[in-house]
């Protein structure tokens, strides 16, 4: 498994390219912003992106979704519970933060607890971690966990935006905690961390 990343956009969101070195197939996790930089990362990596995995539907994780999906032809995966954020510029907070309308109408595939998404020989397993948003998920692949805004190197995500709920996040963090040992987390913002 090979991981590339860049940090883009007004709130410095991490975009990950995670690929299977044998088949050269890869996913993009959270095409946050700056589509030209993401396309450059893909080109330089030598991987072919066939899937886009979203950790949740907030504007700062999806702003480049339209262009990246169109240019790569990749399928899009998101929790069913966050599809409404993709579709609605108020629910994904793009209006609130920047007064700009970011929303998408393209078809997506939805994921739920325990689903596995296969890319080449790589498998990404889904764990639902509601709290930051209703449809926040973490993707587990080998020793890596892509956590979006559920958990960071030194903290956890805010719960004051649409669909956020602190009590739910607490439960999600309790469920995640025992699974972190020996893993590397790759969050939506800030540095990766080793547990």
Interface with Zn ion, residue 103, by CB under 5 A: no
The label of the residue with tokens 């883009």 reads 8
Cα 155 to Cα 145: distance, rounded to the nearest angstrom: 15
Q: Kindly provide the b/e burial profile for residues 85-117, where b requires at least 16 CB atoms within 10 angstroms of the residue's own CB.
A: bbebbebbbbbeeeeeebbbeeebeebeeebeb
- Print the binding letters for residues 109-128 with Zn ion: x by CB under 5 A, - otherwise: --------------------
Q: How far is the CB of 19 from Zn ion (least distance, A)?
A: 24
Interface with Zn ion, residue 58, by CB under 5 A: yes
Piece of 19-27, 39-47, 103-111, 142-150 that binds Zn ion (CB under 5 A): 142-150
Nearer to Zn ion, 35 or 188 (CB): 188
Interface with Zn ion, residue 81, by CB under 5 A: no
Nearer to Zn ion, 20 or 149 (CB): 149
Burial class of residue 21, CB neighbours in 10 A (0-12, 13-18, 19+): middle
Cα 147 to Cα 158: distance, rounded to the nearest angstrom: 14
- Reading the block at residue 3, the tokens are 């991981």
Q: How far is the CB of 66 from Zn ion (least distance, A)?
A: 18
Contact status, residue 111 vs residue 126, Cβ threshold 8 Å: yes
Interface with Zn ion, residue 149, by CB under 5 A: yes
Q: How far is the CB of 71 from Zn ion (least distance, A)?
A: 24
Size of interface with Zn ion, in residues (CB under 5 A):
2
Residues interacting with Zn ion, by CB under 5 A?
Answer: 58, 149
């Amino acid at each position: 498994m090979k991981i590339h990343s860049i940090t883009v956009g007004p709130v410095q969101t991490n975009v990950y390219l995670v690929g299977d070195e044998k088949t050269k197939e890869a996913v993009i996790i959270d095409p946050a912003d700056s589509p030209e930089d993401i396309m450059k990362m893909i080109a330089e990596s030598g991987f072919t992106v066939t899937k886009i995995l979203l950790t949740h539907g907030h504007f700062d994780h999806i702003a480049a979704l339209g262009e990246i999906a169109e240019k790569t032809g990749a399928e899009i995966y998101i929790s069913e519970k966050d599809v409404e954020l993709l579709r609605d510029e108020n629910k994904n907070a793009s209006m609130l933060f920047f007064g700009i309308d970011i929303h998408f109408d393209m078809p997506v595939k939805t994921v739920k607890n325990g689903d596995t998404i296969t890319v080449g020989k790589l498998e990404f397993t889904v764990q639902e971690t509601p709290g930051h948003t209703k449809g926040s998920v973490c993707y587990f692949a080998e020793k890596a966990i892509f956590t979006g805004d559920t958990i960071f190197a030194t903290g956890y995500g805010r719960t004051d935006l649409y669909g956020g709920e602190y009590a739910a996040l607490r439960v999600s963090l309790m469920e995640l905690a025992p699974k972190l040992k020996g893993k590397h987390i790759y969050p939506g913002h800030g540095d990766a961390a080793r547990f």
